[in-house]
Amino acid sequence: MLKSPKTSLKQPSLPLEVHASGDPWQLSEENFATVPLPNDVIITKINGDYTERDRKLWAFLVAAVWDDLLTTRIHELRISKINAIFEQLGGDTSSGWIWESAQRLSKTHIEYELNEDGERLVGISNLLNAQTHKKYRATGFLRFDIPPLLCEVICAPCRFSRLRLHFMIGISGKYAVTLYMLLESVANRQTPVLDVKLDQLRKWLKVPEGKLNRWIDIKRRAIEPALKQINDNPEAAGFTVVMEEFKESRAVDRVRFTLTKTDRRLADEKALKQAEKITKNIRASDG
């Protein structure tokens, strides 16, 4: 069995501008687990066989080691413990799926652009590096690291989406997770609206060439099933959503998604902001 002490990550100490909330290991309707991921990372250019299940696993791993992202290089989690969470939420628990997903994540590269002191910072990174014991791929430990430069982007984002972790893991459908992440990217705007042309939406959803060519097919097979899961369980999702269609030359050219946060979410976010303000004041007084 691969066992190793945690390896320190020597890099500049950056302030945690945002924080994960709740416990990713505990399913609770009283305290939703959330993970803030930068919009520039989750909705920009992604190259690789990056599946919906891979998105779920990567977000979960980030949430599980959030407090150590900037201070620890190598993380180690028991595979059966990860699998138990996904099983409770109706996910695939076939033997070895976590390692298969980790392999795809290691081959997935993202390109991002960030505002850095008034200038444009561009970056490229893979999502994960992983290691396990061949004999125990389904029952042992997953050792992994998230590239240090990417950790800095995750922990100090310019714009971010606060994803409801367990709700996202429980979503079913090939395009549902991606659409949920896209909607969360606008949820915290003063006007929470996503207005997008169909060509761009297809790219974000990674609809393969030659598939779902007509709007009616995308709507019925990708969009409507995802929106139904959100609107059927708004407390878990954190919002409801309404979609409007806009035509050009009698064909649908773009769509608009308008979000409305739940009262519970608004209260939770207010409490979280107050807690973060207290943390910043304590850090300032200690500094």
Cα dihedral angle (188, 109, 16, 118), rounded to 10 degrees? -70
Q: Measured between alpha carbons, how far is 46 from 125 in angstroms, rounded to an integer?
A: 10
Shared-domain flag, residues 166 and 177? no
Shared-domain flag, residues 134 and 21? yes
What letter does residue 222 receive in the DSSP assignment?
I
Shared-domain flag, residues 121 and 182? no
What does the pLDDT look like over 14-44, one tens digit per residue?
A: 445 678 889 999 998 777 899 998 876 665 6
The better pLDDT of the pair 112, 125 is held by 125
User: H or E element: which one contains 235?
Assistant: helix 234-237
* Global confidence as pTM: 0.85
Shared-domain flag, residues 56 and 163? yes
Q: Alpha helices of 4-51 — where are they, by DSSP H?
A: 39-42
The domain containing residue 264 runs over which residues? 172-287
Position 7 confidence tier, pLDDT thresholds 50, 70, 90: very low
